[in-house]
Structure 1
């Protein structure tokens, strides 16, 4: 019981910290402000906790609970004072009148979907609460560092096997991927600091928080974009019911779901900024995007996808395609000419064994469209895209920018499995869906954008009988 209470406090403090920070930054005008604060606040707070542990280790203080509390309590006092000092931060946000206009069947549907989400969360919580750490990558690549950091109460060096053999055994450590970023192990170490020991299931509670934050992020941003309550409920349920997403929450300890959540959060805020020009949304986009390389080495590639998104936002179409075409050719030549021992996002070029492997194309498509990992996500996205094209939709710049980011991401995704030795994993139906998890939540948001285009056009057809069947 004491461990449980301690772990809940350890999870709640970063969440509260992030919420207090964003309560100062997010204005009171958007619908769903409280939901946005809770969702993005969790992402800000959980990263802040890992930064604090890095600072304590660098200062030589270590990860003791006393050191952590003496550091964060003054920060909390300052944030609470600041929230009460500036009245804008505590003004009650306006509520939508749409709640008053819902019909009976809409109430039933919304309550039903919310109930299913709560039920699913309950089952996931039981899995995380009771199940010991699952013995795959979560144990081999991440928890090794967590165990060492918890026992030593500071960051300790991890090196390759050959270096480890030449070093004193009590000061240097090794595992299959010593060069992986430390953020995920530090999230778990933070929980262990409050628990008082290495606990291989309660230390994974941040994954449950991530599941909640993911739903809050989508619901809050969709409401801020003017999405109806019923549409918001449907797409939030659609996102939180994705099978592989649920699996990565239940088998907590992997970094992939975190990459997907932070990329999703960054793309949502980027679209909002591109649409409304709100600087606080740009701040959220920058904060969450910069975290990506700190989660996994591959996060660097997803961060790069915002470059074509910015280009699509600012450049005329002709210059945009010339620039992106030139950049693609230059990138291919650069990779071809770089030395074989060159490291890119934690991988040596020689290890990737570059070359075309078209036999992996069908297995990749099978993973996306036929397996149960994503239900009908990719069918729905492609179907709505076809309808949009058939309706000759006039896409706004922000939508085009988000599309360029996602298409670049999926381009890199296909290149990984069609031009490197990861093709072997694709042929064996492994790794593909795990990497697709980095992009799938953002794809749900893109699907909502396509749906909005179709539904608005349908509404115009219904309101104006003079519109022809092809374009109004």
Structure 2
């Protein structure tokens, strides 16, 4: 690996971006803020890099690292020379003086340590964990990896084109229509490194996180905030759990949308606040470029134009929105209203689809999403206190007198909210909100600007109000805390069950193993064998009224990091199984009353374990407990430190642990903040300086939630380093990914024609993950994933085939092999010959190519 060229590839675009912004901003001494220029330099520099790579590919048909680095170096030299020639010197690389007060310095040091701590934990995850999120390796990184081996931006077809035999491209990928910026950055990183690395290709994401913090800090300082408030804003942004998960589990495009869209809106808001055209233009350009990162960028550009109109021309923009609403109402009442615009496409409503120029058409579909927003924005663990603080800031901005923020912040938040309502509330895209996939990821694009708004409003109020005494802060703070404790106590009492019931306990000897194998030792059950990577223990038939015992207690001990789940069956649906994650190993309490399917007559309960690293699992007890006030208190305490480890859903939302009390930790902090704000605004002694107790409460509540989140990150980092330290970091610690990787490597080792695709097939439709992971592992070889019976389309020149049988019983595997061989030979006249077998699948060659290939019998 060439680490020196990697460092140069990461540094040069950033340098070019900084020199560009420096050259444009030297006319004003106020624009010599190094942090802001450095932060915004990354999106500017990476945008220039992407355009350079596309230009080189257009001219030469390939990407050459040396030529690209030389072009960047020449561009940096030209920018530096221009700056020196025009202004006789470059600006001094020193930040604006912050403070000399010892107390302020201490606060700055503490906040900076917290920020560095979060980024350090993210760094460890990036360096150790291979590309993890589903869509990252399926779409974004799949294209980057294929491009790396060909050193070119090769076009890709959709799998549907391959199935129809209409493919004109070498590769196929589900997201063939996705923009190419994110895989382009990964390609650039891999070319600089000299080889593909499933970990180091995500280093630009780490740099992106640093740039976000620098840009937000610098823009807050340019807006006049104190250094402490500016650093608090930057740290708050990086400590948002959802943003942290996108930094740690890198590979998706949303974090780069935050860089272009979020920072673009920061510039737009700053320009509208100051009345300067330059920042507004730069903000609009950044937001427009985000369309080359994800297609949603076009929608966000419309949001930016609406924000600009509402802030500059509020009456005209409001009238236009009212007119648009009236026209939409008429279109709905008339059953449609549609027109074709030159070059832009259709606009209007036709055949129950709404047409938007440049963005496409969407099915009209309504849905109720308030409960989903409540669960994610208020009661969930994804955002800390961002949304309650944003609501308070919006209300506070309206009350600001003589400040441009009175128009700017409500205009931005109104445009942002309108976009959310239209996208999720009235189109087919609402299904992604109901499934909790896009409901958090789309707002993440705006996160830097949302935090910026909170910091600006807080700054304006602190500038207008003198600092109160300690008593004026303590009274609302403690009053809010007392009210929160009262609400918590009442909730715990009300959630307790009626009649006292004895606990129903099952020790290891009373639990039956129905899948897998093991033994008893010292009163504990030990699972040392898994059937098809799973093991199941159960109580057998029982009779239980779900209302009498709604808390489960499970104790497991293991170094095996496969997922564990508690499951049950009901008498009214005996063939259905319902389950909830254990949230890791150890002793856990599970609030079953939070599960809608825990009701009626329970006829069986048990535990389900997935095999991770082939390590034994020990379980001691499974107990069903009544819901008492004491148990509810234990659930509440458990919820503070019982968060689950990373999962494939962690880039969509951060799940609560199995304890799931009625009052989640985030909801408790929201109640405290709300109660403090109400008391501070109602008390005559604190009403005129309410911002200080509110901000103090927000700071303490945020710190409590972030301590919970940071502790989980430390725990997660320990697990990640243990799982991947000293191991081949090209496969995930999920299911049979290791065996699939080894099978794919074996196929590549004997494959003669790189361009000949590999056929992937399975008789089990539930093996989508395994099939697509094998396709990813097979790169640089193209592959086609086919479900069910052998293909009926034209023969596409397959040299090898892999039959994925990860969950099949040994007898079933032989049956699947025979069926595949017979059907393929009957339909295509080519008989598959077994080359290699593994626990996850079987590698075949075909009769006309098997003699040319090196056969490797045996198990992988």
TM-score (norm 2): 0.50
Cα distance in 2 between the residues matched to 1:97 and 1:69 = 35
Q: Is the 8 A contact 1:31 1:96 kept in 2?
A: no
Instruction: Specify the SS of the correspondent of 2:176.
Output: coil
Q: Residue 190 of structure 1 aligns with which residue? A: 188
The answer to whether the aligner puts 1:365 opposite 2:374 as a matched pair is yes
* Contact 2:397–2:409 (8 Å) recurs in 1: no
Cα deviation for residue 319 of structure 1 reads: 2.6
The whole-number CA distance in structure 1 between the counterparts of 2:122 and 2:273 is 35
Instruction: Report which stretch shifted further, 160-169 or 320-329.
Output: 160-169
Shift in alpha-carbon separation, 1:346–1:254, aligned structure 2, 3 A: farther
CA distance in structure 2 between the aligned counterparts of 1:46 and 1:115, rounded to whole angstroms: 28
Segments of 4+ moved more than 4 angstroms: 93-98, 165-170, 328-336, 338-348, 467-471
Residue 457 of structure 1 corresponds to 464
Q: Tell me the CA shift for residue 302 of structure 1.
A: 0.8
| Displacement of 1:36 | 1.7
Mark the CA change 1:329 to 1:176 in structure 2 (over 3 Å): closer, same or farther. Answer: farther
For 1:382, the equivalent position in structure 2 comes to 391
Map 1:6-405 onto structure 2 (within 5 A).
6-27=5-26, 29-30=29-30, 33-87=33-87, 90-92=90-92, 96=96, 98-100=98-100, 102=101, 104-165=102-163, 171-315=169-313, 317-330=314-327, 333=331, 337-338=349-350, 349=361, 352-358=362-368, 360-389=369-398, 392-394=399-401, 396-397=403-404, 399-405=406-412
Contact 1:192-1:198 within 8 A present in 2 as well: yes
Cα deviation for residue 344 of structure 1 reads 5.4
Would the aligned equivalents of 1:26 and 1:33 in 2 still touch at CA under 8 Å?
A: no
Residue 275 of structure 1 aligns to a residue whose secondary structure is helix
Q: CA deviation at 1:216?
A: 0.7
Structure 2 gaps of 5+ residues are: 332-337, 339-346, 470-684, 690-860
> Structure 1-normalised TM-score?
0.88
Displacement, 1:226?
0.8
Q: State the shift of 1:386 in Å.
A: 3.6
1:407 matched to 2:404? The reply is no
Q: In 2, are the aligned partners of 1:32 and 1:221 still within 8 Å (CA)?
A: no
Partners of 2:13 and 2:94 in 1: CA distance: 26
Instruction: After superposing the two structures, state which structure 1 stretch, 290-299 or 85-94, moved more.
Output: 85-94
- Change in Cα spacing, 1:330 to 1:255, as seen in structure 2 (3 Å) is farther
Which structure is higher in RCO with an 8 Å CA cutoff and minimum separation 6?
1
* Structure possessing the higher radius of gyration over alpha carbons: 2
Q: Secondary structure at the match of 2:171?
A: coil
**RMSD of equivalent CA atoms:** 2.9
The answer for the alignment partner of 1:416 in structure 2 is 423
Q: Could you say what secondary structure the match of 1:337 adopts?
A: strand
In 1, Cα distance between the equivalents of 2:217 and 2:196? 35
Is this contact kept in 2: 1:180–1:346, CA < 8 A? no
Counting matched residue pairs gives: 458
**Change beyond 3 A, Cα 1:343–1:323:** closer
Is the Cα contact below 8 Å between 2:108 and 2:231 reproduced in 1?
yes
| Alignment CA distance shift 1:30-1:47 (3 Å) | same
Q: CA, structure 1 residues 31+72, in 2 after alignment: closer, same or farther (shift >3 Å)?
A: closer
The question of 1:444 aligning with 2:448 is answered: no
1:123 to partner: Cα distance: 1.2
- Residue of structure 1 equivalent to 2:524: none
Q: Distance in 2 between matches of 1:40 and 1:106?
A: 26
Going from structure 1 to structure 2, the CA distance change for 1:330 and 1:198 (only over 3 Å counts) comes to farther
Supply the distance in 1 between the matched residues of 2:247 and 2:327 (Cα, whole angstroms).
Answer: 39
